[in-house]
Amino acid sequence: MAEFVAGISVVCFAASYAVALACEALRPALRSGVRGIAMLGFAAAGLLAHTLFLVWRAATEPSIPLSSPFDWYLLAAWLLAAGSLWLTITQPRTPVGLFVLPVVLMLVGAAQLSSRQPFPQSPATQIWGAIHGMFNLAASVAVLLGAVAGGMWLIQAGRLARKQAPVQGFRMPSLERLAHVTSRTPGIAAWTAAAGFVSGIVLNAVNRQRGLLETVPWNDPVVVRMAAVVVWLVTADALVHAARRRAEGPRAAAWLALASAAVLSASMLWGVFGATRHGMPPPASPAAASSGPATAGHEDSP
Partner 1 sequence: MTLALVGGTHRTVPLDLRERLAFSAEQTADALARFRDRFPGREGVLLSTCNRVELYAAGAPDAPAPDATDIVAFLAECRGLDATQLEPLLSRERDEAVVRHLFAVAAGLDSMVLGEPQILAQVKQAWTLAQENRTAGPVTGGMFQGALRAAKRVATETGLGRQRVSIPSVAVADFASGVFERFDDKRVLLIGAGKMAAETLRYLREAGARDVTIVNRTAGRAVELAARLGARPGRFDRLAAELVTADLVVSTTGASDPVVTLDLFAAVEPRREGRPLVVLDLAVPRDFDPRIGTRSGVWLYSVDDLAAACDANRRSRQREMPAALAIVDEETRRFMGDLHHRSTAPVIERLRAGWSETGDAELERLFRRLPHLADADRDEIRQAFDRYAAKLLHPPLVSLRDESRSGSPHGLLDALKRLFDLDD
Q: Which is nearer to partner 1, 133 or 250 (CB)?
A: 250
Q: Is 298 in the site for partner 1 (CB under 8 A)?
A: no
The answer to whether residue 156 forms part of the interface with partner 1 (CB under 8 A) is yes
Q: Which of 33, 123, 283, 293 binds partner 1 (CB under 8 A)?
A: 33
- Which one of residues 146, 250, 271, 279 is an interface residue with partner 1 (CB under 8 A)? 250
| 82 contacts 44 by C-beta, under 8 angstroms | no
6 binds partner 1 (CB under 8 A): no
> Least Å distance between CB 168 and partner 1?
4
Residue 94 burial (C-beta neighbours within 10 Å; 0-12, 13-18, 19+): middle
Q: Which of 89, 217, 218, 244 binds partner 1 (CB under 8 A)?
A: 244
In the complex, least distance from residue 257 CB atom to partner 1, rounded to whole angstroms: 18
Residues in the interface with partner 1 (CB under 8 A) total: 28
The verdict on 62 binding partner 1 (CB under 8 A) reads no
Range 162-181, binding partner 1 (CB under 8 A): 163-166, 168-169, 172-177, 180
* Residue 28: CB minimum distance to partner 1, A: 9
246 binds partner 1 (CB under 8 A): yes
**Is residue 92 part of the contact set for partner 1 (CB under 8 A)?**
no
Residue 170: CB minimum distance to partner 1, A: 11
Smallest gap from residue 255 Cβ to partner 1 (A):
13
Measured from the CB atom, the residue of 53 and 153 that comes closer to partner 1 is 153
Contact between 120 and partner 1 (CB under 8 A)? no
Residues that bind partner 1 (CB under 8 A): 31-33, 156, 159-161, 163-166, 168-169, 172-177, 180, 244-251
